A and B are shown apart, each in its own frame.
Chain A
Amino acid sequence: MLPRSFQYFAPASVEEAADLLREHAGDVKILAGGMSLIPLMKLRLASPGYLVDINRVKGLDYIKESDDGKSLQIGSLTRHHALESSPLVGKRAPLLSEAAASIGDPQVRNRGTIGGALAHSDPSGDWGATILAMRGVIKVQGPSGERSISIDDFLVDTFATALKEDEVITEVSVPIPPETGSGSAYMKLERKAGDFATVGVAVQLTLEERGDGVYCTYAGIGLAALGAKNLRAGKAEGCLTNMKLTKDTIAEASSAAERECSPSDDPLRGSAKYKREMAGLFTRRAVELAAARAQGRGGRGSR
């Protein structure tokens, strides 16, 4: 299968890329890892006349801590595998490592990028849910300069984001959870290895011991494949934030997630009713696992 013909550009800088995007507006796509775009082009579901390949742009592939140590900054061209295997990510934001490892298959992770996946805004994508749970920020650059967009504002709809046609994502940054009391989990239900999520739930928690029990001081819950885009389970978060963490509050949070998501029937991965039930179940399991990790149990993903 060959895509339709297109003209190919491989600019060396973000500025040059943004200029090309503006010049060919309406008929142009950015090529990053290509793991979604190239299959769409081969199936001729997308046939841009111009491709701007940003793989040769320098300075978009990095993972580092901000100068103040408060956030983890990830260049948009960072491959999923780099996030999966980075010791810094594993230590500071293990939710990202766990989510990265669940994407596609190893070859896809060697090529696919975090910026490309977010820009694609596939409702079944894993990164949107994960960045929602961590309340991350997307930094973009266009002809009129840089701006930062919260992940909630960035994800607009199915395959639609707040990115303007002449803007390029340059960075994704997430707040680093506190060193003590933080735990996370990304849980994904798949039909088979490498499949898109049937449902995916990302949970980031911070817990605090008080005299009468364990309280949740931060709760972030992002959902994948449970609506027109990756969703924040805001009501579920509300059931946990500043509440005592008990079996009951966790049950309330999971039934809130079950109610607030909006999955659709799909012939491959199950009915909306089934997915809704799985949203509740996976929210409960992911909150329990994140809580266990926050309390130093349950292995990988403390923080």
Chain B
Amino acid sequence: MTTGSPRLAVKVRVNGKESAKEVEPRLLLVHFLREELGLTGTHVGCDTSNCGACTILLDGKSVKSCTMFAVQADGREVTTIEGMQGADGELHPIQKAFWENHGLQCGYCTPGMVMQAAWLLRENPNPSEKEIRLGISGNLCRCTGYQNIVKSIEEAAKAMRSDGKSGR
């Protein structure tokens, strides 16, 4: 076993902004985002890749940032919940739909749900209820019973289809 592994330079484009840091190879991406960049919208839930609270987009694909090393994101593009709202501060249609449909109670799972919904709706802009449920099967919510989360994603899909927006 090695001790004191050298720190490695990592350059990641997060929410459109380039960030360069030196990190230990064992630093998980979620801790890089939260502690190195101060982007605490991405949550650590179970820390065992079950709950999906740490879901982010890596080069447009949803992944669990607790199950990836920050060094693996070198040269790549990351989108977190902080990158969802428009430049004018307006909520993304998915965020707006969660707001309007009571898609959250405590809110802990919400950033992960929104990021997963963003990927899902890009893959499939018009999902059935079943496809939505399967699509968020890697995201746990212990409050809502999922009903309003599913409804929020359905409404977001409608809104995004009508203004021709397929997510950011």
Contacts and interface: CB of A to CB of B under 8 A. Distances in A.
- Bound together: yes
Given A34-B69, A34-B72, A43-B48, 19 more contacts: A2-B26, A2-B27, A4-B1, A5-B3, A5-B4, A5-B26, A7-B6, A35-B67, A38-B69, A39-B49, A42-B28, A42-B47, A105-B137, A106-B120, A107-B64, A107-B138, A108-B64, A108-B138, A110-B63
B63 A107 contact: yes
- Contact count band on B: 35 or more
Nearest to B112: A107
A35 B138 CA distance: 13
Interface in B78-103: none
A8 B5 contact: yes
B167 interface: no
A111 B58 CA distance: 10
B69 A8 contact: yes
6 contacts: A5-B25, A39-B67, A49-B2, A50-B2, A106-B137, A194-B137
Interface string B154-167: 00000000000000
A1 B119 CA distance: 27
A108 B2 contact: no
Nearest to B123: A85
A146 interface: no
Contacts of B2: 5-7, 49-50
B152 interface: no
Contacts of B138: 104-108, 194
Interface in A243-294: none
A3 B68 contact: no
B135 interface: yes
10 nearest A-B pairs in the assembled complex, by CB-CB distance? A105-B138, A8-B25, A193-B137, A110-B61, A49-B2, A5-B5, A107-B138, A38-B67, A49-B1, A107-B64
A107 B52 contact: yes
Contacts of B48: 1, 39, 42-43
A110 B68 CA distance: 12
Interface residues of A, number: 34
A150 interface: no
A27 B72 contact: no
Given A38-B69, A53-B72, A105-B137, A111 B26 contact: no
A111 B68 contact: yes
Interface string A129-165: 0000000000000000000000000000000000000
Nearest to A104: B138
A5 to B, nearest CB: 5
B5 A6 contact: yes
Contacts of B52: 105, 107
B67 A34 contact: yes
A3 B28 CA distance: 9
A76 interface: no
A110 B62 contact: yes
Contacts of A34: 67-69, 72
A204 interface: no
A55 B135 contact: no
B48 to A, nearest CB: 6
Contacts of B6: 7
Q: Which of B6, B48, B69, B71 has the most CB of A within 10 A?
A: B69
Nearest to B120: A106
Contacts of A2: 26-28
B110 interface: no
Nearest to B59: A110
Contacts of A50: 2
Contacts of A38: 49, 67-69
